[in-house]
Structure formats: C-alpha cells, structure tokens
Chains A and B, each alone.
Chain A
Amino acid sequence: MVKLRYEIEGGNFDLAGGASSQVKKVLKQLNIDPVLIKKIVVAMYEGEVNIVAHAYKGQIEVQIFPDRVEMKLTDEGPGIPDVEAAMKEGFSTASQRVREMGFGAGMGLPNMKKNTDELRIETEVGKGTTLIMTKYLAYE
C-alpha cells in the first residue's frame, strides 16, 4: 500500500491542483487504467479546490491499495450547512472572488460523487469537513 499526504493552504489558488497532479503521476506509474485515473484525479481535484476556496487549511491523504484508491480530505473551515443542497449540480456558496477565478460553479461535490464509488461526508458547521472517497480498480 502506498500512502501519500499533502498539506493544502486555503486561499492559495496558485497551487490548487498540485496535489491531484502529483497523485496522477503516481497512479500512471502503477499502470492503472487511464480512464480510472482520470476519474480519481477529477474527484480529488474538486476536493482540493474546495479546500482552497472555502477552508483555512486542510490535508489530503491518499492510500493506494491493489484493489482501490482511498482519498481522505480533511479541512478546518466553515463546514457545509446543507449537505443535501451542496450535492445538487449548480449549487454553490463560493464568493464572487472565487467565481471570477473560474471556480465555484457548483459542480464540486456532484463531480466527486459521479467519479468515485463511495463518498462519505462528515461536516460540522464552523469547524470543518472531512470527505472520504473510494474508487475501486477493476482488474481484468
């Protein structure tokens, strides 16, 4: 099992996507189906951008097992007051500033759900959010 860990800085859009890009490189070296890699990376990128856009700071832990990839994204931030609403496409609480940078289209959580097999959300308003995503790697 390979374990990777990345610290994410809130508000730093310059670096947003850096962790996902690293994970992509690692997955490519493991000869995992490019279609699956793309899904994993898209899901992780959304989560990474969410931390940058909404939280003060956070961290991403990725564990690669022979049969699955688990991503745990933890942040200290405002939390999600209405998870059900946040799961709807187009729902966004992103600030104008964030939207002007091309983020905050309200596709974050829906994209994460769409591209992974399991998505668990633990969130507390005013404290932070933890997302756990799992993608199973199908073998032929």
Chain B
Amino acid sequence: MSSNEKFHHALVVDDNKCIRCTHCIKTCPTEAIRMVNGKVEIREERCVDCGQCMRVCPHKAISIEQDDLVQIENYRFKVLLIPSVFIGQFPYAYTEDQIYRSLLKLGFTHVYEVEQPIEVLKTLIRREIRENKSNLPVISSFCPAVVRLIRIKYPAFTEQIMRVKAPHDLVAHYILENFKKQGVSPDDVGFFYVTPCAAKITAVKSPIGEEVSIINGVINSNHLYNKAMSVIEKVDELDVEPFKKELTKEGIQWSLTHGETWWQRAKTISVDGIHNAIRFLERMENGQVSGFDFLELRACDRSCAGGVLLSQNRFLVVERLKMRARLYPASSVKMEAEGYGRFSGLEPLAVTDEIKPRPLMLYGSDTFKALEKMERARNIMCHLPGIDCAACGAPTCRALAEDMVNGLAKMSDCIFIQQQWQNQGKVSPQKAFQKMEKKWGENRFDPDCTKKGAKDESF
C-alpha cells in the first residue's frame, strides 16, 4: 500500500443532530476537526479514528458506519467474529454459552471469539524482539488508531511497528483453512466482525499493510448487543464448545491493557489512552525512554474494554474477562499438550506488508516555505488571545494561526479580534455578526432548549 493512499474513515457527523458545541474539536488528539460554514468537518489526513470525538459528543451526533446485517444471507456459512470484550457487555446472569447461543439465533452459523490462535501472535512477537535487537522497542500493531497516530505524528517509529495482523484477521484465516480442509469453497464463507471501536472498522475497510481484508462485513458492537439481548434465553441446549476450542487465558485478556505483555519475559511496557500514548511517544522521541523490548500502546483507556462502541462499564468488563480467563488453560500448556503444528501454516498469513510512514506536514513538505509559514503563524500568535476557546472553529489559537497561514482561516474568525476591531471602529457590529453566522450557521444564535442542562434533554 502506498504512503499516498487515502485514509478511509468510519466516523460520520450527523449535521441535524450536531448543535455545534466544539466538544469534539477540542478533544481530538490530532486536531483534525474544524467548524466550517456551520458544519463540523473532519480533516481526513489527520484523523486516526480513535473515536474520542464520538465519546465526548453530548448530542450523539457522531456515529460509526457499519454494514447491514442482511448481507450475511449472501453466504452459506455465516461466521460471526466477536472480540472477547463483547462477552463482557452482557449481564453476569447470562453465561457465555447463552451469549453464544443468542448470537447463533440471529442467523449466524458459527460464532468465534477472535483472540484464538493466540500462540501464533505470541510466537511472532517473541521472534520480532529477538530479530530486531538493533531497533527496539518493537511496537505493537494491535491498536489501529495507534498505528495511524505513529504513521502521521511519529513517522520515525513506523519501522518499529510489528508487521503482524490483528487477531480478527488471524482467526478468520484459521477458520477458513479449516473450512477448506472440509472441502468448503472459500466463496461460501462470510466473515463478520463485531467491532468495539471506530479504528477497527477502518482497519477492515482500508487495512494497513495488506491489500484486502479477509473480513466481509463489520458490525457495530452496540447494535449487535441490542439484537442479542432481544433473543437471549436462559436455556442450555446447543453445544457451543467447538467454537471455543482454541480459547486461552492469554487470548481472553489479549485486548485488555497488558494483554500483549503480561506473559512476556522481555522488558515491556503498556500504555493506554490516546493522550497517554502521545505523551509516551513524545518522551520516547526525546530519547528519555530506553531499555524496553516491547511497547503496547492502546488508544482507549483500559484498551478495548473501553472501546467507544461498548456501553458496559469498562472496569466491569475487565473484571469479567479476568474471571473468565481463570477457567481457561494457558496457551503454553495447551501447546505442550497439543503442539504448535496445527498453527504453523498460519504464520505466513499473519504477516503484513511494510507499514509506511505518512508524516503530517502542517506547513507542507518544503522546508524553506514551511519555515516562512511558521514564522508568520508565530507572529499571528502574538495577536491571538491564547485562551483556546474554539469559538473560531479551530481547537486552539495555535491551530487557528496554522490554518490562517495555510489560507484556511482568517484573522476575523477570532471573536476577540472581532470585538477589538468593533471597538476600534474597524468593523461594524452587523458585519461582525454576519461573520459569526457564517461560521456557525444560521439559527445558531436562536434560543434552543434541546441541550444538556436545558428543558429538553431527550436527544
């Protein structure tokens, strides 16, 4: 995949629901969001699909695209792939077998948790650390939002990212190989992945480091949870054990913080939360972090348990998975009993192509011109108030200055400057108001009782 490829994005803003409140603009870790002509605009080249914007939106105006469940009918074998954290969404009263059965009732022929042939990932991680002694730490490729973050903001670390596919890809290959052995044509098998977050959707729709994903459709976790809850029953008749044959302690906890590190002997560190990950990468770039062999970075707090498409409390999810993990064998024990042979064919399928950096150049790639623009932006900063109110539609005064020198914003976008100009008689109050209306959209200044803390909170 070339470094010029277009990033696919899963996040969609509903202009009718959006009240233009700037929460998303201010929280975005890559400053990818702006207000333009009364609409929220996500700058594609900057967005890493971490979903922070969706999390903070008070009006649920940001959503995530998903594939229609109807399309499972196109396949004879309808394979549902769920992340382990999905099990953690259900009330404790339901056993995991009952959860599996409810999903089969929705029309799927097979249900697998994705974190299954985990010994393959463990083997590849150990090997990568061993073979890359000169370029440590190896950085996990598990969290797609982090991989994108590194590609755009820390391009120099890109080559340290593990070239290994995500568990959902790997398990799909494993299942497909088994289908083939039974004489089933691959065309008859459809894989549907239940995603806990936006980034994983994007990873399926425009995978980094491989041509096309093996996954045929993506289902929003919340959506499926609601469907499953409507059919779930407390009866135990169907045997779902075959679907869980390769589940291990490590697998169940893989997507939690420390999931890729707790079983390692190498020197590892785990960081969760995208702002924490950024701070850690900055430190590492400053040369203030050394001696680590492996780095696990996850965009969400508590990793996938805190996925933006999950509704259950993340701490409870972690607890449930930890309790479950106790009941399953360690993968090393399983390997000793059953051998690694049945997985060895998977290794080549688990490796991705090269992951290329895609540095985000605020002022363009020409150093000479960039220097000139930066100088101008720094001069502009002397005039801006520095309170980062986002009333201009940019997250910070600095971002506004950057936009200005790139021809994407004007000095008059700043409400402080506007006030000053009015005071100095440089602009009429009418003209100033018109500018605000243009930025924030007509009617934005009319009273509206549909908002948090007002009369109608029913959005």
The reply to whether chain A is a binding partner of chain B is: yes
Interface residues of A (CB under 8 A from B): 1-2, 17, 20-21, 24, 26, 29-32, 34, 38, 41-42, 45, 64-66, 137, 139
Given A21-B282, A45-B286, also A29-B361 (CB < 8 A): yes
* Cβ A17 vs Cβ B288 within 8 A: yes
Across the interface, do B371 and A24 meet the contact criterion of CB distance under 8 Å? no
Task: Check: B444 CB closer than 8 A to any chain A CB.
Answer: no
B350-392 residues at the A interface, CB under 8 angstroms: 359, 361-368, 370-371, 374-375, 378
A2 touches B367 (CB 8 A): no
The answer to whether A1 touches B375 (Cβ under 8 A) is yes
Q: Decide if B12 is an interface residue (CB 8 Å cutoff).
A: no
Residue B287 CB within 8 A of the other chain? yes
Q: Does B285 belong to the interface (CB within 8 Å)? A: yes
Binding site for A on B (CB under 8 A): 155-156, 282, 285-288, 359, 361-368, 370-371, 374-375, 378
Residue of A nearest to B361 (CB): A31
Structural contact, A2 and B378, CB atoms closer than 8 A: yes
Q: Write out the residue numbers on chain B whose beta carbons fall within 8 Å of the beta carbon of A45.
A: 286-287
Structural contact, B374 and A30, CB atoms closer than 8 A: yes
* Interface residue from B287, B362, B371 paired with A1 (Cβ < 8 Å): B371
Chain A residues whose C-beta falls within 8 Å of the C-beta of B363 in the assembled complex: 29-30
**A1–B282 alpha-carbon span in the complex (Å):** 25
**Given the complex of chains A and B, what is the CA–CA distance between A21 and B279 in angstroms?**
11
Cβ 8 A contact of A21, one of B286, B359, B362, B368 = B286
Given contacts A1-B375, A2-B375, A21-B282, whether A31 and B370 have CB atoms under 8 Å apart is yes
A86 to chain B, nearest CB (A): 22
Q: How far is the CA of A24 from the CA of B156 in the complex (A)?
A: 13
Chain A nearest CB from B277 CB (Å) reads: 16
With A31-B359, A31-B365, A34-B156 as contacts: A64 and B286 at CB distance below 8 Å = no
Are the C-beta atoms of B286 and A29 separated by less than 8 Å? Answer: no
